[in-house]
Amino acid sequence: MSSNSGNITAKLLLLRDLDSVIDFSRASSQFSIILYLAERSRPVSVAELSRIIGDTRKSILDSLRKLEKKGLINRVESVDDLYVGLSEQGKEFIHKLLEVLTPIKTASSEILNIPTRLNVSKELVTSINLYRLLVQIGLSRRKYMEASEVGRIMVGAGRIQDVIIESFTTSPTRFFKVVKKGDKEIITLDKQGLEVLKKTPHYQAFEKNPVYRTLVVLTGTPWLTEIEEEINIALGATTSIFITGAILTGLGWLLLPGLVSSILIVVFNVLLNRLLVIIPG
């Protein structure tokens, strides 16, 4: 494997720890807030965050609650508004992000300028999308993905999708192949892409952990957040159907499968929490 490919592999693997703190694919607002706060040497108001990020106050407050719970920000109460800034843990998160994604060194003031922030954001989005595409194709039943479906798993999609495919279907980092299947274009892993896939925590868990492998096969997705959602919805609906049936019909025996389903929900979530220690969501 080339040194360039090796560097990309290292970045993909190191992203696991950062993504476990903020699920970048589902929490873009949290990520934007962290990056903006990293630029500021003073606490920032919710009104300013809402204006700069372009989101509603309610959405910003929801993201701030989650970031505070993760220990990444500190709040400063004020008469006119709520102000927030990065905590020491938040500053450490940003430093790790820079170390993983870019060789750029910050100034001694430790404040990131706008070009640096945009560069980090771009590299992060590219790395996450590359990782997601590798894992999605590599762990799927078909071992390929239709080009028209790629946007579904991308963070940002649009032009980002085209850049990923264009950049990683040619040497020296040829991870994917685009081929024709009937009247459709499909994307498969090239030899180099398969080598990188085998080093990912998702692939290693799929090979070694029968519980995770079974869940991926059953749901068709390698992402724990999606697995959790699908299984909980299915088991929750089953529980409701049997309990409602027992109440409406007076058939007490219907309570038994309902009880079993509710127990399975608890067991499943315990297993899922253990898997989250091994692999990111």
Q: Can you name the CATH fold of 124-195?
A: Arc Repressor Mutant, subunit A (1.10.10)
Q: Per-domain residue ranges for the chain?
A: 3-122, 124-195, 201-278
Q: Tell me the per-residue pLDDT of 119-131, one tens digit each, with 9 for 90 and over.
A: 555 666 677 778 8
Between the CA atoms of 184, 222, 66 and 56, what dihedral angle is there, to the nearest 10 degrees?
Answer: 10
Collapse the DSSP code of 143 into the 3-class scheme (helix H, G, I; strand E, B; otherwise coil) and give the result.
coil
pTM of the model: 0.58
95 backbone dihedrals φ, ψ, rounded to 5° = -60, -40
Token pair in block for residue 55 = 């989101």
The reported pLDDT for the residue numbered 139 is: 92
Q: 26 versus 166: which is more confidently predicted?
A: 166
Give mean pLDDT, residues 231-242: 87
Q: What type of residue is 169?
A: T
Confidence bin at 280 (pLDDT 50/70/90):
low
Q: Which of 148-162, 179-193, 255-269 has the lowest mean pLDDT?
A: 148-162
Give mean pLDDT, residues 113-140: 71
Q: Does the pLDDT value for residue 28 go beyond 50?
A: yes
Q: Does the pLDDT value for residue 22 go beyond 70?
A: no
Bond before 201 cis per omega within 30 degrees: no
pLDDT > 70: percent of the chain: 75
45-51: list long-range contacts, CB under 8 Å, 24+ apart: 45/78, 45/80, 45/81, 45/82, 45/83, 46/81, 46/82, 46/83, 46/84, 47/81, 49/84
Strands 184-189 and 82-86, bridge-based pairing: unpaired
Q: Does the pLDDT value for residue 21 go beyond 70?
A: no
Q: Are 215 and 234 in contact (CB under 8 A)?
A: no
The CATH code of the domain at 3-122 is 1.10.10.10
The reported pLDDT for the residue numbered 249 is: 86
The reported pLDDT for the residue numbered 109 is: 45
Q: Are 46 and 81 in contact (CB under 8 A)?
A: yes
Q: Tell me the per-residue pLDDT of 174-233, one tens digit each, with 9 for 90 and over.
A: 889 988 888 888 999 999 889 888 888 888 889 988 888 988 888 888 888 788 888 888
Distance CA 20, CA 224 (A): 11
Around 251, how many Cα atoms within 13 Å sit in the side-chain half-sphere?
Answer: 11
Cα angle for residues 77, 94, 19 (degrees, 5° grid): 105
> How many helices and strands (H and E) does the chain possess?
12, 6
Q: 192 versus 104: which is more confidently predicted?
A: 192
Residues contacting residue 266 through CB under 8 Å, at least 6 positions apart: none
Q: Does the pLDDT value for residue 111 go beyond 60?
A: no
Token pair in block for residue 142 = 């078909």
